[in-house]
Amino acid sequence: MMKIISHRANKNGPNKDLENTTAAILERIDEGFDVEVDIWRIEKKFFLGHDKPEYEVKLNWINKYSKHLWLHCKNRDALEFLYSNDNKNLNYFFHNNDDYTITSKGIVWCYPGSSTVKNSVYLFPEKFPINMSEIIKHNLYICTDYPLRYQNK
């Protein structure tokens, strides 16, 4: 079965006002989705936000919801802290323009538009259409701004 990841906690398309907010993240989790969030670490504090650190969160909040979070490290300090502090329960990664990267849980994260590989996360099927049989064949996860669109497929 395909796993759906809500990109930045979006539900029905990009919404800059709600992206990466704890309220939207918790709503998506309650709806049964995993959530990709952008995480920063600045001066020993964690923040969520895409282009800049915006919403402070505590490490215990991150750990509490770790089963459902895909943490996209946005700066070196976030990556280094998560990697260096034995955070085995967290699923985190860093990438910029790489075709592929591997999360801390060993799952391949594909750059938007890259071809799929087994057990990988395919980004934005709404922008880069993919045949559903391809998703099933490779046991894919999808990460999308429109999780409701794919919920019953």
| Sequence-ordered strand ranges (E) for the chain | 3-7, 34-42, 45-48, 55-57, 69-73, 92-93, 100-102, 108-110, 120-123, 141-144
Angstrom distance (rounded) from CA 46 to CA 41: 5
19-34 mean pLDDT = 97
pTM listed for this prediction = 0.93
pLDDT in tens, 127-152: 988 877 777 777 689 999 999 998 87
Average pLDDT in the 38-42 region?
98
Q: What is the pLDDT of residues 55-101, one digit of tens each?
A: 999 999 999 999 999 999 999 999 999 999 877 889 999 998 889 99
Comparing CA positions, the residue from 70, 95, 79 lying closest to residue 41 is 79
